[in-house]
Every structure is written in C-alpha cells, then in structure tokens.
Amino acid sequence: MRLPGTLREFGIPRLLIAVFLAVLFGVAVATHMDLRGLISDSIVRVGRNGILVLALLPAIQGGLGLNFGLPLGIICGLVGAVISLNAGVHGIWGVAMAAGIGVALAVPVGMGYGWLLNRTRGQEMMVGTYLGFAMVSMMSVFWLLAPFKNPTLVWAIGGRGLRTTLSLGGIYDKVLDRWLEFTVAGVRIPGGTLVVFGGLSFLTWLFFRTRMGISIAAARSSTRFARAAGISDERTRLQATVLSTVLGAIGIVIFSQSYGFVQLYTAPLLMAFPAIACILIGGATVTRATIGHVIVGTLLFQSILTVALPVTSQVIQGDISETARLIIQNGMILYALTRVGRA
Amino acid sequence: MARVLRHLVPLLFLALCVFGIVVAKITAPFLLSEMLVRIGRNSVLVLSLLVPILAGLGLNFGIVIGAMAGQIGAILIVKWGIPGIGGFGLAWLIATPIAILLGIATGSLFNRAKGREMVTGLIAGFFANGLYQLLFLFAVGSIIPFHNPAMVLPQGYGLRNTVDLSTIQYAIDDLIKLRFHLQGVEIRVPVVSYALIAAFCFLTLFFFRTRLGQQFRAMGQDPHVAAIAGIPVERNRIVATVLSTVTAAWGQLLFLQNIGTLNTYSSHEQVGMFAIAALLVSGATVSQATVGQALLGTVLFHTLFVVSPLAGKALAGDAQIGEYFRVFVAYALITVALVLHAWQSARAAREARRETR
Amino acid sequence: MTSSAAGAPALELKGIVKEYEQNRVLKGVSLSFQSPAEAMEAGIGMVHQEFMLLPGFRVAENIKLNREPTLPNPASRVLGKKLESLDVARMRADARRALDAVGLGIDEWIRVAGLPVGHMQFIEIAREVDKERLKLLIFDEPTAVLTESDAEKLLDIMRGLASKGHAILFITHRLDEVLAVANRITVLRDGEVVGTPDPKTTTVARIAELMVGRPAAIAAQRRFFAPTTEPALGIEHLREDMPGERVEDISLAVRRGEILGIGGLAGHGKLGIANGIMGLYPAWGRVVFGEKLFPLNEPREALERGLAFVSEDRRGVGLLPEESVELNIALSALEAQGRFLHPSPIPALQVLNHGAMHRHALEMIRALDIRTTGPSQQVRRLSGGNQQKVCVARAMTLRPKLLFVSEPTRGIDVGAKERVLEILTALNREQEVTLVVTSSELAELRAICDRVAIVYRGKVEAILPPDAPDAAFGLAMAGESARAA
C-alpha cells in the first residue's frame, strides 16, 4: 500500500502514537475524567523531561546518532545535586549550585566521552549505551562509599552510604515549577520550569546559528565536505558530545526539582531510552533533529505516559502504562534504527 | 595490543577472582560445589552467542528473546501440570518453534539495520520484553483463557511474579545422580547437563566445519566478498540468528530446571548481558570467539559472581558493594570489548585500503 | 578466442562490462544475469581489479570459497547438503592443481593475509581456473599491480588458458600487452566502441589515437596569450594516500595566470593532486605556494592561504545537499575567513549574519546565472549544472589566488557544460585567478587550457600544449610518451 507523501514522511509509528493518544483523551472525556488535571500533569512532565530530550539534539546534529550515553551527563548533574544538598543550600540557589557543579563536571566528562566516540566511529550508540551502564554501576559503588555525612542523605542505620532516593521536600522541591506558576482555564502551568526549558531551547537554537554550531551541523551532513571547508570533524563531534553531556547534567537537576526527589544508584541506568523515544516520536531521525522535534515529541510521549495510567486503570487493574511505555519507547527506537539511510 | 589483551583480560580476571577468594576466605569445596552448578546452568546460553559472531553479526544481544521463548514453554507445562523429564521435553518442544519464529523476526530486523546489529538486538530485547509483559501480565486470563489459581494473580488475569518450577527442577541435572561429600560439603554433579553441554560444544565445532559453517566464516570476514562468491548473505544472517535464538531458548530451559523457580518478569532480562560478559572475560571479541573461550569465560565470570559479594562483605562489611561491583565489571567488560572492536575495525579498514593500493 | 583491449577510463569500462554481464550471448544463448551467482553458473569468471579474497582464510579456502568439496555425514543426510562436512584433503588437492596451473608455488594452506600483492592476483586467477564450468574469463586491469616479470608470467598464463579453449576478455590500458596477446581488439571511449583495429597490422600509436579522439567544438573559444612563466605553485615529489587514486611521485610547476589542465586515465592520480594539496587525503612531499613552503594535510591552512577547490565529488565533498543555496555558497568563507557573521567577543560564538549571506547569494545567483527559486532553496533540488555553479560560487566567494577545479562538467547537460567552462575561463581572464583544471574529458582540457599535464601511474608523464597531436596525448596516457618523440 502506498501512502500519500506527507503521511509517509510523518511515519506510520508516529501516526499510530498520535491516534493512540487521541483515543486515550477520547476515553478520558467520555468517562468524565478530570481533563484539566490530565493536561496540567502532561505539561508538568514536559517541563520536567524537556531538557533531557533537548540534550539529545546536539549529538544527533553532530553526527553521533542517538546519545545512549546520556547517563554520563545525568551522573554529573546528580553529583552536583548531592553536593548542593550536602552543603544544605536551599531554594533557587540550591538548584543553581547543583546545575553549576553538574556543568563543571560534565565538560571534562563530555570531552573524555567525545574523545572515546571519535575513536569508535560507527559504534557510537553501542559504546555510549555500555559506557553509560558501566558508569552508572560504578557510581553505585561510589554512592555507597562516598564520604557524605549529612544525616538527611545517608542511611539512618550505619550512617554510611547515600540513600537510594533523596527527598527534596523543604529544600528545593518544585522551586522552579512554583516560580511563575499560573493557571489558564483551570490548567495549572509550571511557569518557571517551562521558562528554563524554553530558554535553553532558544539558546540551543541560537547556538546552531553560530560559527561553531554551523560547523557542527555541516560536519554531520558530510565529513568530507567539512574537511574541504577546513572544519575538523573530530573537533565538532567533541563539541557536540560536550554540549549533549552538559545539557544532560542540567536536565537531571531540573528533572529532580520538579519531581521532588533525587534518585541515585541504578535510577539513571535506563533514563536515556524514554528521552530518545521522545525526540524520535517528535519526528527526528538518527541523523537529523530540530528543536521542534524535541518539543512536539516530548509533548506527545509524556502526554501518553501521563494519561495512559488513569485512563486504562478504569478498565483494568494493574499498571499497563509501564508496559505501554516499554512497547512504544523501544518500538520507536527500533523503527528509527532500521530506517537509517532510508527516510 | 589485541593479542596482549586476549590474555590480559582473562589473567586480570583470574587475579581478581583469586584476590576475592583469599580475602573472603572461601573454601575449595564450597567454591567447587557452587561452580559445578553454575557452569552447568549457564554454559549453553554463552555457547548460543558463538554462531552470530562467526557470521559477522557481532554479539547477539537478542538472545534475551530466545530466553523468553524458553520461558513460554516452561510456563505452559506448569499450567498443564506435566512434571519431570516429560514436562521438560514438552517445554523444549514448545519453545523451539517459537524461538525459530522469533529468530526469523530478529534476523530480518538485523538485515534492515546492517552495521547496527548489536544496538538493534539490545533494543529488540527491550521491545520484546514489553510484548512479553503485555502477554503474561494482561492478556493471559483475560483475552487468552488461563485457569490456574496458583499461577494467576488474584484479579483473575496476569501471571504472578514467580512460577514454581519444582515439578521439573533437576529433571535433567538428576537424571543420573552423582553426589559426594568433600570436607563435609555435599557436591552435586549434574551429569546429564554436562553431557548436554558437551554435545552442544561438539555440535558447534562440527557446524564450523560444514559447508554452511564455512559460508558463515566467509561472511564474517567480508560480506561483500562472500556475496560475490555466491553466498546468500542475507538469508544466512537470518539462519545464524535463528540458530542463536533457539540455542538460547534451550539454554534458558536448562537454566530454569536447575533454579526451580521462574521470575516471570525478570528471569530473562539479564540473560544477554551476563552471557555476553562471560564470553568476553575469556578474551573473546566482537568478531572472534571459540568454544573453548565460551567455556573458560563461563568459569571465570561465574567465579567472580560467587566471590564478589562475599569479598565485598569481607572488605567493606557490605555485600551490596560486591554486587554493584560485579555488575560494574560486567558492563565495563562489554564496554571495553566494544571500544576495542570499533577501534580495531577502524584501523583495519585504513590498513586494508593501503594494502590493496 | 575473443580478446579485447580497450583504453578508455576504467570507470566507463566497468559500466560496459556490467552491460556485457547483463546481456551476453554465450554459446548462442542470450543471457541476462541478476546476480554474481548466476553469471558464475553460466561459466563466466572474473579477476577483479580490487581483490576479492578473504585475508583470514587460507589460500585453498579462498580458491574453493562456496564451491567446497564436501562429504556427507549423519546431520547432512537429515538436514540437507549445506551441512555436509568440508573435505579438506580434496580442497587442498584441487587448490594445489589450480595453483600449479598458474605457476604459483606457494603452500596452499597458508593464510592470504600478508602475502605479496602479485601472489594475491595469481590466487584470484587460480580460483577462476579451478571452476569446472569456466568458459569466459574476464581480466579487469590485471597487470596494474604486477611487476614486469609477473606481468610477463600472467600473459603466458593467459595464452595457456586460451589454448585450452577458454575465452578471455582482457581489459587494460597497457597497449603493448594487448598487442602481445590479443586475437581481437575493441577500443572503447566514453562508453562507446570507437574502433576494432586488427592486432596483426595495427600499432600502439594508432590505438592511442583512437583512445583520445578529436577535440570538441568548443575549441573555437580557446584563449591565446602567452601565460606568465612566474611560478604560482610548485609541487615536488607529491605522494598521497587516496583510495582508488595513485599519486606516487608528482612534480609539477603551475605558472601564475595560466589554466593548467591535468588529464590521464582513471586511477592514475590526476584527481589525487588537487585533493592532496587541499589536505583532503594524507599526502607527503614539498609544495611551495607564493614563494613560501606550503603545509600539507591542513585543509584550513590551504583555504587561508588563498587556495580553493571545486571537487569532482559534488555530492560528497562539494555540497551539503540538504542545506540552502545561500549557506552552501557562504560556508567556506564563513568557516575559513569568518565572513557573514555578526561580531561577538567570542569568535566561535559569532552568530550568522543572515542578511549579508542572503545578499551575497543573490549576487552570485545573478553573476553565474544559477537557476533557482531563491537563495533559500535546498541545493539538492537544483539540476546538476546549477549545483556545479553553486560549487564554483562557493570557491569564488573565497576570492582565491589559485583555484583547483576537478571534473567541472561531469554529470551535467551539454548547455550547462559550456556555461561552466565559460565561467571558469572568465574567472581566469577577468580576475586573474590561476586555474588548475582536472578532467577525464581531454577535449575540454584541450579547449580551455594553456598547457595539459598527463599523469600515468602516479607520475607526470608529459606536459603538452593543447594543440599537440592526438597520438601524443594517447601515448602519454598509456605511459608511452617516449615513443611519440
């Protein structure tokens, strides 16, 4: 069966996902659910996850493919968060300090990661995945042994080793969500977090119009063209990796303040996958992505995840949203992987 | 560098194991009894990786899918209440065709993602896991009739988190019972399992020496040259994936009959990672692995598995550290192998170009 | 016995051979092949220019690849012939016989990796000879990689095979060899048969003439004025590692203000010269530009010193097909010279000055008559000729002192061809840009150049005036310019 051009460009999986979301909302309306609450929750989750999705953009634009090594940046952000908590810095300054330390760590980490990816061309995605896994498990040992003494962070018994989940209640839980919060037609909008997400999106867009950003995108499109134009693609790939890692570090800090908890140990292990699914659902491919893809994809996927649980739980017991997430997320990534060089 | 590493990795690993054994004061009989069991239940899963490596597909992260096929067989025979060797045999018969179909599907995916087989296999495993959950957590008992209160959740559909496999436990291991005591520790030797492993090793070696095996070797070296010589590369890649998936299904069944319980939603999840890490410990690479390396790797990796929590406890007073550490080692090993592989293939491509000039 | 020699660029030849393979008459039956396996079945063997050998396999395994003799076993009786065991003894015996037939005395059970190139060539031939059904054997430039004595040996083997009743299709540019072995000769040029001289009566010079052909009509607009003798670019002993191109020892002096042509057969290094100096592939040697030593392998340095390059590979190197016309035109100058950017304290973070880029693109579109809907159109939507003009526009934007142009008219239609050549000559005449034009179309070089250098096997074979006789060009391209003198 031949589909009309525009529909084909949109892609069957994307179409299915959009239809699925529409059906979910349809059921929600039909069963008189709290639609405003659902929409509000969806928007909150867009703000919460948006920067982690945005972090994937520089890697795709830099020709590195899907950055499965996102946990490297996430770990940097988590270390920043833990240090700020240990120091007891509250409120917006706590978030700023966490993000600042995270960025400071992410730059050297991203450079090391980028250096490795330059030496493992063609296998970036696999190397990224397992480097991320390895670092997450190494950090698990670190969290257990780290010399943090603040009693709110360490296990009550024994007094050593960080807890798996650190509550941000009363420290900087939702400070950005509440800053500039407003309500439209009964829908609560977490203004501050969205402003940060929007601001970083704009800066990323602007960055890809600077000399450095143009070089990165040109090297992605054609290594040999770039070389002929005097651009070293080893350098641009490194720059793209660093930027992606830095955004990952900021992303997890924003995520944590919105979520209200800092999750350590194995929590970052699989965080790259839903973010990757978001940007792909938005219309990105392994070789091309835009800010629009980031925003649309995050909105679609996070809405599904928000709405699926309450809607389906009216019909069946048990949490089908986790299963749906696995299928949609990995199905989307599989689809993208098998279409490289086609679409 | 590759040659040094081939010996360096297993030697380092051996040193790590010996260190752990010494600090945790592990006794020989304890280690022996643990290892005999673990080798018996894990070797076939590791062996299932060899054929795709030979054929140039790299490490088959998709063996998770084969493991799921094995579990489907196990779940059905428990539902039907067929015990012992008969039940095991039936599970084997059910799992095989399912694994063949899933292998064909996975192989076709690999053909559409050439050069990215490994990441595709990994994601395909996650995706299949979603479908598996959909099947056993929601479809079973609601859409698919399934009446067995011991297995189904109280809500009337969906399987419980564990399935009791005691009816087929040791069905193979104890077909011929061999037990003895060493310094007061009972040591069980699963004779028939070892015979099966030996048979698998022999079959793999035999396969390498057949016409088809030679075709796989040629594809593994250079698919373009193989295609010019008239070898049906795409079809053979699917065959290789099917062989691997089916072997993994059998391996998972052998694993389950030893363990005696099935964690419905998690038994299969780590299969791929642990089998792959075990193979790589031996110094095998993404493009080169032998039967001997599969066996050596299984021994070394599972020694660390036994030793590491105990050593962690002895060293830091916390078994958790040892557990995190062994997971780290598994991931780090795979990372190093992937890095070296990518590094070398980039260099080999450069050199090949220079040579043919 | 059919044997044919041809002396047109190998790329075109391969096209012809492919066509032969797809629709060939063998023993009175017309055949068309969908896959290499089918051609093999029909009794056609091929000795490839690039080796089709598995380095990790043993010699015998390579010779018998996918044709291994096998022995049945219990598994194969149930599951089919594919699972029959390899009969190693017979594999070795067969391989031995084939190796002896081509006179290669090496052990049949050693690995191919690390063997000398000449050995690999003979192993390839042994593999084809071993095929029982072999009727026609195609040799694609087989002597290119061989030493003189090995080449002699190969010709002997070809004679031997022919006397046993095998037909041989011998594709080569070595005219001596053709005359030595061929029963019949066909000369191809640009995908067309241009002559079938009788090997008994013809000469090397005659074949060379056929290979080159008459210069085209654009010869009329040739520019006649004495070029300066002042050196612009001096190249000494340039060696390069570019796949598919041999640049072994090029020495060449480009004069300021001239248009220098570089010609030669495909793979002999003509395309490598510009690529090497622009730093696109690893190169070694001594290059002087503007009386200063010029660093190799530094693409940015090349641009900054006033060199520019319009690549032969438009889609791979010349353009970003997904991007706009304006960005394609501006990009090199933006990168190398920092133009079209808003000022900013951090140079790397200067933001694109879209207006300046847009205005410049409009200017170029008008000056070069680029047919486009506007500066923001995607380049891949343009026709080949207009894409080429975009490439030239980008090079011009750099305001170079010396411009390399490779294959300026490849893949563009006739009208556009002339327009592109006009633009290039105007650039040289009006803006005094020294031009080095590399082309497979000798006619166009002879039409616009002041001098034409011909390369052969990675060296400059001769530098000829554009009005030198056809035979002189032909012989130079065949590496026999000594004969012309």
**Which residues touch C234 (CB under 8 Å, ≥6 apart)?**
C252, C253, C254, C286, C287, C288, C289
Max avg pLDDT among A137-146, B120-129, B155-164, C30-39: B120-129
CATH number listed for the domain at residues B2-348: 1.10.3470
- Confidence tier at A341 by pLDDT (50, 70, 90): low
Pick from A317, A322, A337: which is nearest to B123 by CB? A337
Rounded CA separation C414/C383 (Å) = 13
C144 at interface of B, judged by CB pairs closer than 8 A: no
Pick from B207, B225, B227: which is nearest to C54 by CB? B225
Q: Is the pLDDT of residue B357 over 50?
A: no
Per-residue pLDDT at A246: 97
Between B50 and C79, the higher pLDDT residue: B50
C-beta atoms of B119 and A126 within 8 A: yes
Tokens of C167: 């037909």
- Confidence tier at B242 by pLDDT (50, 70, 90): very high
C-beta atoms of C246 and B357 within 8 A: yes
- Give the mutation candidate from C21, C51, C66 for the B interface (greatest B CB count, under 10 A): C66
Query: Cα distance from B211 to chain C (closest Cα, Å)?
Result: 5
Rounded CA separation C248/C251 (Å) = 10
Pairing of strands C402-406, C283-289: unpaired
Write down the domain spans for chain B.
Answer: 2-348
Which chain A positions have a beta carbon within 8 Å of C335's beta carbon? 211, 214-215, 218, 229-231
Task: Give the phi and the psi of residue A145 in degrees, each rounded to 5.
Answer: -100, -10
Tokens of C374: 């506007």
- Confidence tier at B131 by pLDDT (50, 70, 90): very high
Per-residue pLDDT at C267: 78
Pick from C335, C341, C347: which is nearest to A229 by CB? C335
C-beta atoms of A211 and C350 within 8 A: yes
Per the document, the length of chain B is 357
Tokens of B21: 């054994």
What value does the CA radius of gyration of chain B take, rounded to a whole number of Å? 21
Which chain B positions have a beta carbon within 8 Å of A112's beta carbon? none
Which chain C positions have a beta carbon within 8 Å of A218's beta carbon? 320, 323, 331, 335
A161 at interface of B, judged by CB pairs closer than 8 A: yes
CB neighbour burial string for C172-189, b if at least 16 within 10 angstroms, e if fewer: bbbbebbbebbeebbbbb
Per-residue pLDDT at A188: 85
With tokens 């699925």, the residue in question is A20
B134 at interface of A, judged by CB pairs closer than 8 A: yes
C198 at interface of A, judged by CB pairs closer than 8 A: no
C-beta atoms of A120 and B338 within 8 A: yes
B140, B152 contact by CB (below 8 A): yes
Per-residue pLDDT at B4: 66
Helix pair B271-281, B28-47: axis angle to 10 deg: 110
Task: Give the phi and the psi of residue A93 in degrees, each rounded to 5.
Answer: -70, -30
C33 at interface of B, judged by CB pairs closer than 8 A: no
Tokens of B2: 């590759």
Q: What is the pLDDT along chain C (485 residues), one digit of tens a residue?
A: 233 333 333 323 333 333 344 344 444 445 566 666 677 777 888 887 677 889 889 999 999 998 899 998 888 888 888 888 999 999 999 999 999 988 888 898 999 888 887 888 889 889 988 887 788 888 887 877 777 778 888 888 888 888 888 888 888 777 778 888 888 888 887 667 888 888 888 887 788 777 776 555 444 444 545 567 788 899 999 998 887 788 889 999 999 888 999 998 877 888 989 999 998 888 999 999 888 888 888 888 888 889 999 998 887 788 888 889 999 999 989 888 888 998 888 878 888 999 999 999 999 999 888 999 989 999 988 888 889 899 999 999 999 999 999 998 887 777 788 888 888 888 888 888 899 999 988 888 888 888 999 998 889 999 998 888 888 888 888 887 776 55
- Give residue B35's Cα distance to chain centre: 16
C262, C444 contact by CB (below 8 A): no
Which chain A positions have a beta carbon within 8 Å of C331's beta carbon? 214, 218, 229
Predicted ipTM of the assembly: 0.88
C183, C159 contact by CB (below 8 A): no
Q: pTM of the predicted model, to two decimals? A: 0.86
Spatial CA neighbour of B171 closest among B89, B257, B97: B257
- At A128 the three-state DSSP class reads helix
B46, B274 contact by CB (below 8 A): no
Per-residue pLDDT at B1: 53
C281 at interface of B, judged by CB pairs closer than 8 A: no
Per-residue pLDDT at C133: 79
Pick from C299, C338, C352: which is nearest to A228 by CB? C299
With tokens 């890490």, the residue in question is B277
C306, C49 contact by CB (below 8 A): no
C-beta atoms of A327 and B316 within 8 A: no
Q: Is the pLDDT of residue B126 over 80?
A: yes
Q: What percent of chain A has pLDDT over 70?
A: 94
Per-residue pLDDT at C1: 28
Tokens of C42: 């029909």
A118 at interface of B, judged by CB pairs closer than 8 A: no
Query: Cα distance from A6 to chain C (closest Cα, Å)?
Result: 18
H-helix or E-strand spanning residue B134: none
C-beta atoms of C243 and B225 within 8 A: no
> Longest C-alpha distance within chain A, in Å?
65
Rounded CA separation B216/B232 (Å) = 10
A315 at interface of B, judged by CB pairs closer than 8 A: no
Query: Cα distance from B337 to chain C (closest Cα, Å)?
Result: 21
Per-residue pLDDT at C16: 36
With tokens 């599972």, the residue in question is B302
Rounded CA separation C121/C154 (Å) = 9
Pick from C280, C332, C348: which is nearest to A211 by CB? C348
Between B353 and C206, the higher pLDDT residue: C206
Per-residue pLDDT at C365: 92
B119, B109 contact by CB (below 8 A): no
Each residue of A294-329: pLDDT tens digit? Answer: 999 999 999 988 888 888 777 776 678 888 889 989
Task: Give the phi and the psi of residue C234 in degrees, each rounded to 5.
Answer: -110, 125
What mean pLDDT comes out for the span B41-62? 94
Rounded to the nearest 10 degrees, how much is the dihedral formed by the CA atoms of C282, C286, C288, C289?
-10
Spatial CA neighbour of B298 closest among B272, B323, B326, B277: B277
Q: Which domains does chain C have, with CATH numbers?
A: 10-202 (3.40.50.300), 217-484 (3.40.50.300)
Query: Cα distance from B127 to chain A (closest Cα, Å)?
Result: 5
Spatial CA neighbour of A253 closest among A50, A21, A15: A50
What mean pLDDT comes out for the span B291-318? 87
Which chain B positions have a beta carbon within 8 Å of A145's beta carbon? 316, 321
Q: What percent of chain B has pLDDT over 90?
A: 47
B283, B5 contact by CB (below 8 A): yes
Per-residue pLDDT at C23: 40
What 3 state SS string does chain C have? CCCCCCCCCHHHHHHHHHHHHHCEEECCEEECCCCHHHHHHCCEEEECCCCCCCCCCEHHHHHCCCCCCEECCHHHHHHCHHHCEECHHHHHHHHHHHHHHCCCCCCCCCECCCCCHHHHHHHHHHHHHHCCCCCEEEEECHHHHCCHHHHHHHHHHHHHHHHCCCEEEEECCCHHHHHHHCCCCCEEECCEEEECCCCCCCCHHHHHHHHHCCCCHHHHHCCCCCCCCCEEEEEEEEEEEECCEEEEEEEEEEECCCEEEEEECCCCCHHHHHHHHCCCCCEEEEEEECCEEECCCCHHHHHHCCEEEECCCHHHHHCCCCCEHHHHHHHHHHHHHCCCECCCCCHHHCEECHHHHHHHHHHHHHHHCCCCCCCCCEHHHCCHHHHHHHHHHHHHHCCCCEEEEECCCCCCCHHHHHHHHHHHHHHHHHHCCEEEEECCCHHHHHHHCCEEEEEECCEEEEEECCCCCHHHHHHHHCCCHHHHC
- Confidence tier at B84 by pLDDT (50, 70, 90): confident
Each residue of B255-273: pLDDT tens digit? Answer: 999 998 999 888 888 898 8
